[in-house]
Structure 1
Amino acid sequence: MGEYIRKTARYNGKKYEATGKTELEAMTKLAEKLAAAKRGEEAIGGSMTVTAWYKQWKATYKDPKGLTKKSLGMYDEKFNGYIKPAIGSMKLKDVKDVHLQRILNGQAGKSASHVKKLRMVMQEMFKRARQSRLIPYDPAELLELPHVQTHQRRSITDEERSAILAVAEHHRAGLWVLTLLYTGMRPGETAALTWADVDFVNNEIHVHAAKESGSQAIKGPKTDSGVRDIPIHSDLLWRLQNAKKNSFAPVFPTGAGNFQNENSLRRLWTGFKRELDLYLGAKTERNRIVESVVAPDLTPYCLRHTFCTDLQKAGVPLNVAKELMGHSDIQMTANIYTHRDSSTLHNGIALLDGTRSIGGGNDGGNREMA
């Protein structure tokens, strides 16, 4: 039996080798292996690089799932921006939990959403690698979040409520803003709302669709709990009746009469918030706001949050509030219901001591319910 010729080369820190009966055969095989490695087509196994596994994992388990372009882009953004620079060239089987924890620790102080998504990407790809028997254990299983910035959604203040109600009377976004406040709908749900969904006979809004984040598509909610019927607030009912168009028209159209999208809703809110800023006393110079007074954390979701706290103040049971909010988990509703609120605390003590003074007396909790 003749001797074989062996040829070796390194690429991305990994050694590749090939053998052949002739030097040409060995070199040809080696060139094919290197070309496959550069295309990310290494043999699937623990010895493949983390980058190669990510490409295989995403193509096999994420791309076919019908995720939006925005969602798929999130995976690439987290991997290419944070995971690949740190461990992309490492062998999959050599990655330890400490390597992944260091990546997360390097994001300390950044937004909770960003850090949680980064951890999710690592946990999903390494969990699948373990389930596929490519690695003996999952190094991402017990990753801990570092200190992150949390942006708690909040209810609007009494001053903000008064100003919002006043500006809504004349602003083109007024009906949309009041709908958010009086129904607790998500902005994406309002974007998909047609007049056929507004049931004046039964005094309900039927929520069954939403504008999909990152696309123009209108789809059903992510969970069955998102499909719900919301009774129409009396102060919203007559406004909707006056604005009614044909059944297939959007309730909140763009200037061209089309359905709203993320960008147009953002502009709608920006315009309303600017008018609100002026109403609250912002200083201007040549029609430009130079000293803003409106809270920077005031977002459309504050109105949804307020709807939930209004339900709590009105004594609506937690399980009913969950249905009206379209929450999939009652804990989500409970987290809002348990937020500290002075009037709620005072009223609780009033009930305990038998005075049952709801919003009156000297408890400092006199708040008008909208």
Structure 2
Amino acid sequence: MAQTSTYRAELPDGSRIERSYRVEEGKKVPRGNWQWVVYDPDRRPSRKRVNLRTKDKAAAMSRALEHARDRSLGTFDPWGQAASTGVSVTEAAAAYIASQKRAGRAEGTVNSAERLLSAFERSLPAGCNVAHVEPMHVERFVSAPKPGKEGKPGPPKSAGTRRRYRAVLRHFFAFCQRRGYTRTDPTADLEAPTGRANRRDHVTEAEAAKMLRTLDAAEVLDGRSYGWLRDWLVFGMGTGLRPGEQAGLRWSDVRLSEGALRVRGTKTSSSARPVPVAGDALAVLRQRSEARADESDSLVFVGSRGGAVEMRHLSKRLNALAESAKVKKNVTAYSLRHSYGTRMAAAGVPLLDLARIMGTSVAMIERHYGHYCPERGAAHVLRVFGTEAMASTSTSV
């Protein structure tokens, strides 16, 4: 018969985290999530357990320490009584954003969540508490069309946008439950949005050449320099960086002699990965390095006004350029990354290697960048099963 016991780790305030396990055939088999255990002889029950909703010990300890700190400040009560009731959505959102910053989330990710929660708060009755949010409030917010001009409804949200809204709100209300702000999750029964996300068009080499020629002509006609946009286009197609990664690239991240970059991730601020650079993209770096006014650790790419490239305008500029070049595709800032992934996958680069270079998962590569190439597929079949291959096999036997 299997024996049951408990892993334990103490916290500075005297509370602890626990996780049960069974001993089967001499091996310890963990069961369930870690729990935060608090003892107070003046409360009933005197010992209270809080589900930390994780099987990772480090994450459990981090959440328990956060709960312990909030309990000491009087903003969280494990027994779910007065200290944790009456928390407004505004207060809960501020606490959530602060926790995301402490967790090391990238600035862009935190800012996006903050804007979404602010819009969600405006859609609720004034002064609404977290505990009073109902599923219909969430459903109405996620399904509502985009805001249009002059207060009129705009176009409907895409399936991808609705999925992102749902994911952020689910994470937010899970946080609120852990803090004791609410006992229920209004997103629990919210169905995942169906339908395909907006198509991600990639730019071919021929289409990129047309866009660059159009840009050259525009410089002559307008009497202005669009060098920053030209360099952005060439570099983006040659490195596959995310728009935020390319915008945040600094000279301290560039290794010209090695033909490599150290890219700081946009998913979490602490992540970084090496990215090889060659060809036209490397030429762009060299030209920009020679044109630097000083050796300060400045941004590699700056906009037309000398400051950081503004993401909200970049896609509009690229799409307008594609339209002028008669490239009939929806070209956005992400299209350049998509072009890089498509070209590398079609060239036969192993998906695992491509995923590491692009800083994503193999599943994401297959979903977005691993377009099937009939010519490459036929070549692989001929190499393995072709007449020459069969002849060489029979000869060796």
- Give the TM-score taking structure 1 as reference length: 0.61
Partner residue, 2:288: 243
Deviates more, 1:178-187 or 1:161-170: 161-170
Pair 1:92 & 2:124 matched: no
Pair 1:185 & 2:185 matched: no
Secondary structure of 2:274's partner?
A: strand
User: CA 1:60 to 1:186, structure 2 compared with 1: closer, same or farther past 3 Å?
Assistant: closer
Instruction: Give the one of 227, 236, 254 matched to 1:198.
Output: 254
Query: How far apart are residue 71 of structure 1 and its match?
Result: 3.2
How far, CA to CA, are the matches of 1:250 and 1:192 in structure 2? 7
Partner residue, 1:253: 302
Partner residue, 1:75: 117
Secondary structure of 1:339's partner?
A: coil
How far, CA to CA, are the matches of 2:278 and 2:333 in structure 1? 18
Query: How far apart are residue 184 of structure 1 and its match?
Result: 0.6
Partner residue, 2:190: 143
Query: How far apart are residue 125 of structure 1 and its match?
Result: 4.4
Aligned pairs for 1:1-370 within 5 A: 48=86, 52-63=87-98, 65-66=100-101, 68-81=110-123, 84=124, 92=131, 95=134, 100=138, 104=142, 110-132=157-179, 137-148=184-195, 150-157=197-204, 159-164=206-211, 166-167=213-214, 171-172=226-227, 173-208=229-264, 221-223=266-268, 227-244=272-289, 245=292, 246-248=294-296, 249-263=298-312, 266=313, 270-271=316-317, 273-280=319-326, 294-295=327-328, 297-327=330-360, 329-354=361-386
Contact 2:204 2:339 in 1 (8 A): no
How far, CA to CA, are the matches of 1:339 and 1:100 in structure 2? 36
Partner residue, 2:77: none
Partner residue, 2:151: none
Residue by residue over 1:265-302, the C-alpha shift from the partner in whole angstroms, topping out at 9 and shown as x without a partner, is: x25x645554443343xxxxxxxxxxxxx335111211
How far, CA to CA, are the matches of 1:133 and 1:256 in structure 2? 48
Deviates more, 1:195-204 or 1:66-75: 66-75
Query: How far apart are residue 204 of structure 1 and its match?
Result: 1.6
How far, CA to CA, are the matches of 1:146 and 1:256 in structure 2? 40
Residue by residue over 1:35-73, the C-alpha shift from the partner in whole angstroms, topping out at 9 and shown as x without a partner, is: xxxxxxx95667x5xxx5423422333345446555312
Query: How far apart are residue 177 of structure 1 and its match?
Result: 0.7
Query: How far apart are residue 113 of structure 1 and its match?
Result: 4.0
Residue by residue over 1:174-228, the C-alpha shift from the partner in whole angstroms, topping out at 9 and shown as x without a partner, is: 12210000011122222223344332211223323xxxxxxxxxxx643379522
How far, CA to CA, are the matches of 2:138 and 2:303 in structure 1? 45
Over alpha carbons, which structure has the higher Rg?
1
Secondary structure of 1:303's partner?
A: helix
Partner residue, 1:8: none
Gaps of 5+ in 2: 1-80, 102-106, 146-154, 218-225, 389-397
- 1:71 maps to a residue whose letter is A
User: CA 1:240 to 1:163, structure 2 compared with 1: closer, same or farther past 3 Å?
Assistant: same
- 1:199 maps to a residue whose letter is R
Contact 2:88 2:130 in 1 (8 A): no
How far, CA to CA, are the matches of 1:257 and 1:105 in structure 2? 39
Contact 1:168 1:178 in 2 (8 A): no
- 2:371 maps to a residue whose letter is H
How far, CA to CA, are the matches of 1:349 and 1:274 in structure 2? 42
Residue by residue over 1:212-261, the C-alpha shift from the partner in whole angstroms, topping out at 9 and shown as x without a partner, is: xxxxxxxx643379522222222333343233224434332334544333
- 1:92 maps to a residue whose letter is A
User: CA 1:115 to 1:88, structure 2 compared with 1: closer, same or farther past 3 Å?
Assistant: farther
Query: How far apart are residue 144 of structure 1 and its match?
Result: 1.0
Contact 2:203 2:336 in 1 (8 A): yes
- 1:57 maps to a residue whose letter is A
Contact 1:203 1:231 in 2 (8 A): yes
